[in-house]
Amino acid sequence: MQETVNKWRERLQFTLLFVVLTLFVHHFFSLFHDWLKPRDPYKVPEGRAEKVFQSGDGNDPSVSPGDRLRLFYWLGE
């Protein structure tokens, strides 16, 4: 009887330690992600920097749907 109680206590202790460490790692990665993320990725650049991409309305007749799809797969946007 004592062996089964010890076995369950060890399992519970392992599970609690696993959950605590998982939450700690999740919190660490969340902080790291917030540190990497730009504050405002859509703001106009300052100084001599240029904004190189201007989004259009999508109704440009000179651009075919195949070209737009190719651009989407190339840039991922």
Q: What single letter denotes the amino acid at residue 40?
A: D
pLDDT at 13: 98
Q: Distance (Å, rounded) from C-alpha 62 to C-alpha 68?
A: 11
Scanning the structure block, which residue is given the tokens 């990725």? 41
Q: Report, as an integer, the average pLDDT of 11-34.
A: 96
- Percent of the chain's residues with pLDDT above 90: 38
Output 46 or 14, whichever has higher pLDDT. Answer: 14
Do 15 and 21 meet the contact criterion of CB atoms below 8 Å apart?
Answer: no
- Check pLDDT > 80 for residue 3: yes
Q: Residue 52 carries which DSSP code?
A: -
Q: How far apart are CA 60 and CA 71, in angstroms?
A: 14
Confidence check: pLDDT of 75 > 80: no
